[in-house]
A and B are shown apart, each in its own frame.
Chain A
């Protein structure tokens, strides 16, 4: 019996090791980014990175503020477009559409997630950018273009997680509400959505994560000017684009500054995720 016990423990240990290895990869990446990126931040001062407005790495000027603002703006814009659309689609597919229709539409929407981001970027560059340039002015490569493309890219995440959350609301809630005389729309708005709230917020958080981390499509349609945009029609550069755009030829302090960009991106994502998690758990408690 003791030998069997020992085997059991061995297996458990083995599985634990495998589980830890996944986490240790994350730890190694974190350590590597910080190890590469922080020395230069200490050298030139944390403030000059966070608040500097000039990004001229060849002149030792490493202000990341335009990129920080850019990332936040573009992510916010993507949520403004993706969340209402995604939520509306999820409500329609679960509450109002024919079962058969939603059985066709849901996999189609999930297929959207499988399209490579470079294809989104290409379509954006070919159709959206000229459209914006001709209709609204400016170069077309803009905050608006990036927000629209990212808003579409986060749709599958927002929709499919919201659908699961709404489906998880027990039918007895709906029946109770309708028995009280509420219309279908009142039921959805006042009963189903509040009950599914935490799941929907989780979907939005995941969508936000995708938007802030997306690189290729953004590089193609955002214009990448390292300046705080004056309007939504002005070009913008995000933190991720900054790294991908310049990594190829960067060396020395320029390269370290790109790792510092990674450090700041890391911190921002941590802050956003924690904020989102805290608000969603708080709301669940209410």
Chain B
């Protein structure tokens, strides 16, 4: 009887005592993490700069920020995506000090201060074996609308055109829609890929394909077409003769000051503009910041 009682009490108590301690430890860990998190962020926000917006600019801005932070290890530049519209919104609400937009500002967005940090062009690409070298913008539009479906009238080959585009919502597709398509819809029959790289990959493998990618990403796997007789050369882009060009804009709410100004100046410096050039973008001249 006695023994059983003891066993019972041992069985009943030991796990519970053990559990209380475990719970206490767990609760302690939980609370300390909860308390630590905001502390961490607060410690950094004093010297940090949030740059948010266009996903087309983001990978480049990431690299610029990296170089910047190497020079100024005490600062943190946080580059976020979200898209041009989100970037513009973030600057307006103050969620980001610098917004990135890969399209011109719309009328109701003109109250922001903008600096063009680089320029990006769209290239219309075909397979290198395609004898075609030039299209008019109207022809490009007809192909992507789905009115011209065969290469026959363009290069004499009796082959169906494989149209390759980016997915809805991507900046590159947005730029193409705006610069080429206007209000017309891209054909539903178009093959859709979710990166510039895969569009290029598919065009480089399919002799009948046509697609569009960022000018900086053209390589010798594909052929970039001339538009209205103007090849996508650097001079033609700077002179705006080549029409499929979009600006990479940095936006601030007011004329940039402090950290934001420091970062923008850094991006416009010869060192970064050379990097811009190496990455396939078109560099800009320094005196271009202005309120429009």
Pick out which of these stretches binds chain A: B189-197, B235-243, B259-267, B281-289. Answer: B189-197
Is B162 among interface residues, defined by CB-CB distance under 8 A?
Answer: yes
Q: Measured between C-beta atoms, what is the minimum distance from B87 to chain A in Å?
A: 11
Contact, CB under 8 Å: B12 / A141: no
Residue ID in chain A nearest B202 by CB atoms = A141
- Within 8 Å CB of A66, what residues of B? 188
Q: A136 CA to B12 CA in the complex, in Å?
A: 74
- Within 8 Å CB of A59, what residues of B? 185
Is B251 among interface residues, defined by CB-CB distance under 8 A?
Answer: no
- Within 8 Å CB of B192, what residues of A? 223-226, 237, 245
Q: A219-B194, A227-B189 are in contact. Are A249 and B206 (CB under 8 A)?
A: no
Pick out which of these stretches binds chain B: A33-41, A50-58, A188-196, A206-214. Answer: A50-58
User: Chain B at the A interface: mostly helix, strand, loop or mixed?
Assistant: mixed
Q: Measured between C-beta atoms, what is the minimum distance from A39 to chain B in Å?
A: 20
Interface residue tally for chain B (C-beta within 8 Å): 31
Contact, CB under 8 Å: A7 / B11: yes
Q: A223 CA to B230 CA in the complex, in Å?
A: 31
Contact, CB under 8 Å: B188 / A249: no
Is B170 among interface residues, defined by CB-CB distance under 8 A?
Answer: yes
Contact, CB under 8 Å: A133 / B191: no
Contact residue among A4, A227, A244, A249 (Cβ-Cβ distance under 8 Å from B8): A4
Beta-carbon contacts of A1-31 to B below 8 Å, as 1s and 0s? 0011011000000000000000000000000
Q: A219 CA to B11 CA in the complex, in Å?
A: 57
User: How large, as a class, is the contact surface on chain A?
Assistant: 35 or more
Contact residue among A4, A54, A249 (Cβ-Cβ distance under 8 Å from B169): A249
Instruction: Give me 18 other A-B pairs in contact (C-beta within 8 A), A245-B194, A249-B170 excluded.
Output: A3-B8, A4-B8, A7-B12, A55-B188, A57-B168, A129-B205, A139-B208, A224-B193, A225-B188, A226-B192, A227-B188, A237-B192, A245-B192, A248-B55, A248-B170, A248-B194, A251-B85, A251-B86
Interface positions of B (Cβ within 8 A of A): 8, 11-12, 15, 55, 82-83, 85-86, 160, 162, 167-171, 177, 185, 188-194, 201-202, 205-206, 208-209
Interface positions of A (Cβ within 8 A of B): 3-4, 6-7, 54-59, 66, 125, 129-130, 133, 138-141, 219, 223-227, 234-235, 237, 244-246, 248-251, 254
